[in-house]
């Protein structure tokens, strides 16, 4: 069963590649005492993720932070090296944290996985966005298909 508004994020650890090398980031560390905007994409470099979903957050990261987000982070079931290459190729600003859920552990624990095996991608994350306040979900917009509406930066801004 998928997490819902009012639930706490499951305990998990992500990988992120920084100038200091590979780092672990736990959900507790990410969210403790903070308001966090999370958005998840089925895959870095995939068309809708790269051309539609990500750009909205890149364009509106300043507005999200001005409305109270301490952190804006993107989760994908890709390894940290892919996420880092995606940052470079798309010129993703450093104020968007890229979190690798390479094995899908967080995604499965949150009940937000989808089977993309028909596309040769295996188990991936559903497309969604969430507002998390000190570890508790206060907004969750999960897309039923390929659209980017409930998970868009604009939808998150309306709910911050």
Q: Which of 30, 37, 44, 49 is catalytic?
A: 49
Distance CA 17, CA 23 (A): 6
Q: Which of 82, 129, 124, 120 is nearest to 103 (CA)?
A: 124
Chain centre distance of CA 29: 15
- Residue pointed to by tokens 């639930």: 7
Identify any residues that bridge with 104 across adjacent strands, giving them in sequence order.
none
Known catalytic membership, residue 49: yes
Contact 80, 88 (CB under 8 A): no
Residues annotated as catalytic (active site), given as ranges = 49
């Amino acid at each position: 069963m998928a997490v819902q508004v009012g639930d706490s994020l499951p305990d998990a650890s992500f990988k992120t590649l920084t100038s200091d090398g590979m780092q672990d980031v736990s959900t507790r560390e990410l969210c403790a005492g903070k308001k966090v905007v999370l958005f998840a994409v089925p895959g870095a470099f995939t068309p809708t993720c790269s051309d539609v979903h990500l750009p909205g957050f890149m364009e509106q990261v300043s507005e999200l932070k001005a409305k109270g987000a301490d952190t804006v982070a993107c989760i994908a079931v890709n390894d940290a090296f892919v996420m880092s290459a995606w940052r470079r190729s798309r010129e993703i600003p450093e104020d968007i944290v890229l979190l690798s859920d390479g094995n899908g552990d967080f995604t499965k624990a949150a009940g937000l996985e989808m089977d993309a095996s028909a596309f040769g991608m295996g188990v991936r994350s559903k497309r969604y966005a969430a507002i998390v306040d000190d570890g508790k979900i206060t907004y969750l917009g999960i897309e039923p298909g390929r659209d980017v509406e409930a998970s868009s930066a604009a939808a998150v801004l309306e709910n911050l």
